[in-house]
């Protein structure tokens, strides 16, 4: 494990629990006291303040990178040199150029690579995605993802140079991959329109942003991200298709409501802002946030000699979309997504849903009115005239 902070401990709690046969054997931290504390808490035999020593430890089979964004590339290159399988937390890079260098490096080294995007492993998302893939929603038209909260936990997130950006990079990486998964990861994202601003926090990066991502087949992705939201961690997704809709609320409203005056209250849930009044605890936080399923997929994949659901390539595509979002926030224009490497469909045509009613008409809408009649809205196939019929 590279990194002993907030996310490193989340990862440790889940990866040592789900399959009951995986073990952290070495912990690297930049601070000796943090390395020692992590080693004691997780019964880890070896700790070090040398990244290379941790990676090259003889008992290490796989390296998990849970470091600040500006340290990802150096860690990945060290894994490539040591020929060790690697998993990296999100976002993969601070930009697409950095992400592509990491992608090229792991593929040249021939090592297993996994992109730790936990929110596409949540139980609700996985079930929703299975429904989408089975055709329950028809052709996907629009996928929207929202992640907002009062801001991240560690100081480096707030430094634009170390982090690479603000809430777009920190939270938008989740949202883009969620929407991309629903629309189809083989469908090319082509351009982005984004608004971003620094509304509240005394930082150089953005703390609030909203963006639209156009896909080659006509689908639209949407992200809403903020470090200014008050009330906890809000994770919501919506996906709309020609035949149906799915709404997901993954965290803020969990079906577990509790009121307390605060007596004896402690930790409630990630980024909860209070421990008094009406609270919304989370029964199994690791499971609800997808960590358990993510690491099970990673470890099962490496043992089977195949790629996991999320690879460095996915991280690279996400970084390219977010780069376009940053350019759009400055230019106030639709900006193209620049992908030097694309491994999906080429030239996916914009799809149209034309439902034939009979030889003469297409069906626009079929409804029952409040007074009991059935009304049809139809379009003439030859003339284009729109008519209604009441039955």
Tell me the per-residue pLDDT of 155-204, one tens digit each, with 9 for 90 and over.
Answer: 999 999 999 999 999 999 999 999 999 999 999 999 999 999 999 999 99
166: Cα within 13 Å, side-chain hemisphere: 27
| pLDDT of 263 | 73
Give me 142's structure tokens: 């629009």
Q: Are residues 105 and 125 in the same domain?
A: no
In which residue are the tokens 């926090």 written?
201
Q: Are residues 60 and 134 in the same domain?
A: no
Q: Where is the domain boundary, 78, 97, 117?
A: 117
| pLDDT of 264 | 63
Q: Where is the domain boundary, 117, 135, 162?
A: 117
Q: Are residues 111 and 162 in the same domain?
A: no
Q: Where is the domain boundary, 74, 99, 117?
A: 117
For 147-177, b/e burial (b = at least 16 CB within 10 A) is bbbbbbeeeebbbeeebbbbbbbbbbbbbbb
**Which of the residue ranges 15-19, 234-238, 291-295 would you say has the lowest mean pLDDT?**
15-19
| pLDDT of 369 | 86
Could you tell me which residues come within 8 angstroms of residue 10 by beta carbon, excluding any fewer than 6 positions away? 286, 289, 291
Give me 262's structure tokens: 């605060």
**Percent of the chain with pLDDT strictly greater than 70:** 97
Question: Using an 8 Å Cβ cutoff, are 290 and 129 in contact?
Answer: no
| pLDDT of 253 | 76
Q: Are residues 365 and 220 in the same domain?
A: no
Give φ, ψ of 64 to 5 degrees: -110, 115
Q: Are residues 81 and 202 in the same domain?
A: no
| pLDDT of 266 | 67
Q: In CATH, what number is assigned to the domain containing residue 101?
A: 3.40.50.720
* Entry pTM: 0.92
Across the chain, what does the average pLDDT equal? 93
Could you tell me which residues come within 8 angstroms of residue 367 by beta carbon, excluding any fewer than 6 positions away? 374, 375
Q: Are residues 111 and 207 in the same domain?
A: no
Number of structural domains in the chain: 3
In a domain, 301, yes or no: no
* Planar angle of CA 303, 117, 99, nearest 5 degrees: 95
- From the list 262, 291, 290, 294, the residue with the least C-alpha distance to 276 is 262
Q: How far is CA 251 from the centre of its chain?
A: 14
| pLDDT (average), residues 123-140 | 95
Q: Are residues 193 and 87 in the same domain?
A: no
Q: Are residues 91 and 158 in the same domain?
A: no
In a domain, 325, yes or no: yes
Q: How far is CA 360 from the centre of its chain?
A: 46
Question: Using an 8 Å Cβ cutoff, are 24 and 87 in contact?
Answer: no
Q: Are residues 42 and 113 in the same domain?
A: yes
Q: Are residues 104 and 205 in the same domain?
A: no
Tens-place pLDDT, residues 256-277: 888 888 776 666 666 677 778 8
Q: Are residues 96 and 12 in the same domain?
A: yes
50 lies in which domain range? Answer: 6-117
Q: Are residues 275 and 152 in the same domain?
A: yes
**Which of the residue ranges 22-36, 179-193, 272-286, 329-343 would you say has the lowest mean pLDDT?**
272-286
In a domain, 137, yes or no: yes
| pLDDT of 281 | 79
């Amino acid at each position: 494990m590279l990194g002993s902070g907030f996310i490193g401990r989340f990862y440790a709690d889940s990866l040592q629990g789900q399959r009951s046969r995986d073990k952290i054997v070495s912990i690297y931290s930049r601070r000796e006291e943090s390395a020692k504390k992590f080693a004691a808490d997780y019964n880890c035999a070896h700790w070090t303040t040398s990244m290379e020593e941790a990676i090259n430890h003889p008992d290490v089979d796989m390296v998990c990178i849970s470091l600040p964004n500006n340290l990802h590339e150096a860690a990945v290159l060290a894994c490539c040199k040591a020929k060790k399988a690697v998993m990296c937390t999100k976002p993969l890079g601070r930009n697409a150029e950095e992400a592509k260098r990491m992608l090229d490096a792991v593929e040249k080294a021939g090592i297993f690579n996994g992109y730790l995007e936990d929110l596409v492993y949540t139980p609700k998302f996985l079930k929703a995605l299975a429904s989408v893939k089975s055709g329950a929603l028809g052709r996907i038209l629009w996928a929207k993802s929202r992640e907002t909260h009062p801001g991240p936990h560690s100081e480096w997130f707030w430094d634009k140079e170390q982090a690479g950006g603000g809430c777009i990079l920190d939270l938008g990486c989740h949202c883009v991959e969620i929407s991309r998964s629903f629309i189809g990861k083989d469908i090319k994202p082509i351009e982005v329109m984004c608004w971003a601003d620094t509304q509240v926090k005394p930082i150089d990066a953005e703390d609030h942003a909203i963006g639209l991502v156009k896909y080659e087949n006509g689908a639209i992705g949407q992200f809403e991200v903020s470090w200014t939201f008050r009330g906890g961690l809000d994770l919501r997704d919506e996906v709309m298709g020609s035949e149906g809709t799915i709404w997901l609320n993954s965290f803020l409203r969990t079906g577990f409501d509790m009121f307390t005056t605060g007596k004896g209250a402690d930790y409630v849930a990630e980024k909860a802002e209070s421990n008094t009044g009406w609270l919304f605890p989370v029964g199994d936080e690791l499971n609800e946030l997808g960590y358990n399923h993510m690491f099970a997929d990673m470890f099962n994949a490496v043992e089977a000699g195949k790629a996991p659901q999320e690879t460095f390539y996915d991280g690279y595509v996400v970084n390219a979309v977010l780069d376009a979002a940053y350019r759009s926030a400055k230019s106030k224009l639709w900006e193209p997504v620049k992908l030097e490497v694309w491994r999906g469909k080429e030239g996916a045509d914009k799809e149209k849903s034309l439902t034939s009613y009979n030889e003469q008409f297409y069906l626009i809408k079929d409804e029952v009115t409040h007074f009991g009649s059935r009304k049809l809205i139809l379009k003439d196939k030859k003339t284009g005239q729109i008519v209604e019929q009441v039955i």
